[in-house]
Amino acid sequence: MRIKLKIYTFVFVCLTSFAFTGALFSQEKHDKKHSDFLIVVENTEEGITLAGINGTAWTKLSFTSKKYQPKMIDEYGSTSLANINKEEDRNLANFLFTIEKTENGISLVGMDGTSWKTLGFSLAKNARQAFDQNGMTIVD
């Protein structure tokens, strides 16, 4: 009788731990959902120009940017932490990142909706580079 009780207890503990571990992995996958967007950045003489190709409410954003002054961008355009739109639009991607001009190019910090935390690349004046939720990419 004691052996059966030990076996049942062991099986119960194993099943419970597998169920709990599965819930943790399921939550982890849910938190890492990324939206599909495509943006082309251009390093201009005046600052930075962004072209929203896919997943944005905007088609073009231009702003003057001194080196090392980040701008926060979401699917609706330029924003700040105090003005982040909490409502999600099914027709738009859900993302938030900062972009800043550096000595040799562009630096991005993904805050929401991206698989990258930081993304930096050199970009000559008047050159363009595309990026999406996964990182740097090429526009067809």
| Per-residue confidence (pLDDT) for residue 23, from 0 to 100 | 39
- Centre a 10 Å sphere on the Cβ of residue 39 and count the other Cβ atoms it contains: 26
Which residue in 43, 32, 34, 106 sits closest to 70, CA to CA?
A: 106
The pLDDT of residue 96:
95
Question: Could you tell me which residues come within 8 angstroms of residue 28 by beta carbon, excluding any fewer than 6 positions away?
Answer: none
Using an 8 Å Cβ cutoff, are 133 and 92 in contact? no
Residue 9's pLDDT is 59
For the entire predicted model, the pTM comes to 0.74
CB 38 within 8 A of CB 53: yes
Confidence at residue 25, expressed as pLDDT on a 0 to 100 scale: 39
Q: CA angle, 28 as apex, 72 and 57 as ends, to 5°?
A: 30
- Residue type at position 89: D
pLDDT recorded at residue 99? 96
Q: What is the pLDDT along the chain (140 residues), one digit of tens a residue?
A: 566 555 655 555 445 444 444 434 333 333 446 679 999 999 988 889 999 999 999 999 999 877 778 999 999 999 988 888 777 888 999 999 999 998 889 999 999 999 999 999 999 999 999 999 999 999 86
* pLDDT score recorded for residue 3: 65
- pLDDT given for residue 10 in this prediction: 54
Buried b (16+ CB within 10 A) or exposed e, 79-101: eeeeeeeeeeeeebbbbbbebbb
